Amino acid sequence: MTACNERYVEYMHDYLDGDISHDHEKELKQHLKSCADCQQHMHELSDSIAFIKSAAHITAPLHFETRVMQRLPKRKNTAGIQKWLRRHPIIVAAAVFVLFMSATLVGSYSNDTQFSVTKQPNLIVEGQTVTVPEGEVVKGDIVVKNGDIVIEGEVDGNVTVINGKYMASSAVVTGQVEEIDQAFEWLWYEMKQMFNSFISLFK
Amino acid sequence: MDALVNKRIKQVLKGDQSAYTDIVNLYQHKLYQICYRMLGNKEEAEDIAQEAFVRAYVNLHSYDQKRKFSTWLYRIATNLCIDRIRKKKPDYYLDAEVAGTDGLNMYSQIASSEKLPEDVVAQMELQERVQYEISRLPDKYRAVIVLKYIEELSLQEISEILEMPLGTVKTRIHRGREALRKQLNNL
């Protein structure tokens, strides 16, 4: 290959890339008119390109998409959950707390269908009815579960009736009187109790 | 199209795997075509093209959405193709001179064993012949020629896909064209 040839071959490629300067293009065209070798070379290059470009358009085989989707790793989703958990530790702690709380509450609710009453020395229990006799003073709180309470005397404390009735005529109760019938109210009561006992731990 | 692609990418990043279907659907033919032209074999092309989509999915968080998605995806695919081609090659150096010969190197050995007899080539159908000539190109020229003349991408895009300077891409295309010219006129 002669020196002149090499320079023009360079121009040919620049021309084929579409970034030949105007001057070089002129020069190349001028040269091709007079040089049969370069003309031949240029033709062969153009033919090679045309040959490659005649390649048929190829499409992906059938079900290609489905197969790709099947190959995708599935763990991506659980990784997302783990990431979320790691990013919100307080929510996770709260969720765990609520879960355990509700488990104990639900557990104790279903067990608590039996009659029970707080033990106080001067209470009279007949079947499922608790009576505070006339003239007697009960010191302390009374909690009656699944039963009724009749107060004829005095109670120096709170009275709570769960799933039962509070009956009083001339009763004197120094504390609060609460009647709890529904599950929700009961739940609320339990939570308050739990909170109170929790607070008293620190007292 | 870019807006749709970016929307789908965001959905995938949020954990919606099914949004990736549209991305595969949009690029499957082009990606498969690149792999097929590079590897010259349907089974391998399908395998590598699928692998490219899987890798793109796994590494989607590292894709810069300000850039063109196709460039990024084609880069993954061409890298996989080039790796595959190199693995298939025997592990001796082609440039090494063969002992006992004067100036003969492994290129001449390979060429003589890979090149099919003239009458076989002459009887090939056009499409078969095109693929045959592409696969005879050394892999560094093959990638640029496929991207330039089969995918019809700009030199700038090719330089981004192959992560090499524009000047190198030009040189390779020039040499690739010369190699092709010689192949076609040696018959």
| Domain ranges (residues) in chain A | 6-54, 116-181
For residues A199 and B12, what is the distance between their CA atoms, to the nearest angstrom? 48
Order of strands, edge to edge, in the sheet holding A177-180? A116-117, A142-145, A159-162, A177-180
State the pLDDT at residue B63: 94
The average confidence (pLDDT) of chain A is 82
State the pLDDT at residue A197: 83
Q: Return the residue matching tokens 């193709």.
A: B81
pTM for the whole structure: 0.61
Q: With contact defined as beta carbons under 8 Å apart, do B11 and B43 qualify?
A: no
pLDDT (tens digit per residue) in A118-132: 877 778 888 888 888
Residue pLDDT tens, chain B, 187 long: 788 999 999 999 998 999 999 999 999 999 999 999 999 989 999 999 999 999 999 999 999 988 999 999 999 999 999 999 988 765 555 555 555 555 554 444 444 445 677 777 777 888 989 999 999 999 889 999 999 999 999 999 999 999 999 999 999 999 999 999 999 987 5
Tokens of B21: 């279907």
- The DSSP bridge pattern shows strands A116-117 and A142-145 to be antiparallel
* Three-class DSSP category at A178: strand
**Cβ–Cβ contacts within 10 Å for residue B122, how many?**
10
Tokens of A10: 């360079």
Mean pLDDT along residues A22-50: 93
Contacts of A107-110 with CB under 8 Å at 24 or more apart are A108/A190, A109/A183, A109/A186, A109/A187, A109/A190
Q: Which of A48, A65, A80 sits opposite B181 (nearest CB)?
A: A48
pLDDT range class, residue A41, cuts 50, 70, 90 = very high
State the pLDDT at residue B97: 52
CB contact under 8 A, B177 and A59: no
**Cβ–Cβ contacts within 10 Å for residue B157, how many?**
18
The helix or strand, by DSSP H or E, that contains position B103, with its residue range, turns out to be none
Provide the percentage of residues in chain A whose pLDDT is more than 70: 88
State the pLDDT at residue A187: 78
Q: With contact defined as beta carbons under 8 Å apart, do B47 and B36 qualify?
A: no
CB contact under 8 A, A55 and B131: yes
CB contact under 8 A, B24 and A64: yes
Nearest to A150 by CA among A132, A162, A137: A132
State the pLDDT at residue B108: 45
State the pLDDT at residue B96: 53
State the pLDDT at residue A117: 82
Nearest to A45 by CA among A1, A75, A9: A9
- The nearest CA of chain B is from the CA of A94 a distance in Å of 25
State the pLDDT at residue A128: 80
State the pLDDT at residue B111: 42
Query: Which residues is A149 bridged to in the sheet?
Result: A130, A166
Between A2-6, A160-164, B156-160, the lowest mean confidence (pLDDT) is in A2-6
Mean pLDDT along residues A168-174: 72
Tokens of B5: 């692609």
B34 to chain A: closest CA residue = A58
Query: Which residues is A160 bridged to in the sheet?
Result: A143, A178
Nearest to A79 by CA among B102, B134, B58: B58
Mean pLDDT along residues A54-75: 90
Cβ-Cβ contacts under 8 Å, B15 against chain A = 76-77, 80
pLDDT range class, residue A47, cuts 50, 70, 90 = very high
For residues A176 and A160, what is the distance between their CA atoms, to the nearest angstrom? 8
The helix or strand, by DSSP H or E, that contains position B43, with its residue range, turns out to be helix B42-58
CB contact under 8 A, B21 and A65: yes
For A20, how many CA atoms within 13 A lie in the half-sphere containing its CB? Answer: 20
- The 3-state DSSP composition of chain B as helix, strand, coil percent (nearest 5) reads 75, 0, 25
Q: Which of B54, B134, B170 sits opposite A17 (nearest CB)?
A: B170
For residues A105 and A111, what is the distance between their CA atoms, to the nearest angstrom? 10
Q: Return the residue matching tokens 């404390």.
A: A157
Q: What are phi and psi of A88, to 5 degrees?
A: -125, 70
**ipTM of this model?**
0.79
CB contact under 8 A, A56 and B127: yes
Q: With contact defined as beta carbons under 8 Å apart, do B147 and B70 qualify?
A: no
CB contact under 8 A, A60 and B131: no
pLDDT (tens digit per residue) in A60-70: 999 999 999 99
Q: With contact defined as beta carbons under 8 Å apart, do A166 and A183 qualify?
A: no
A47 to chain B: closest CA residue = B181
Cβ-Cβ contacts under 8 Å, B20 against chain A = 69, 72
Phi/psi zone of residue B152: left (φ > 0), alpha (ψ -120 to 50 degrees), beta? left
Tokens of A22: 């105007």
* Three-class DSSP category at B92: coil
Nearest to A39 by CA among A9, A72, A69: A9
CB contact under 8 A, A73 and B58: yes
For residues A91 and B102, what is the distance between their CA atoms, to the nearest angstrom? 78
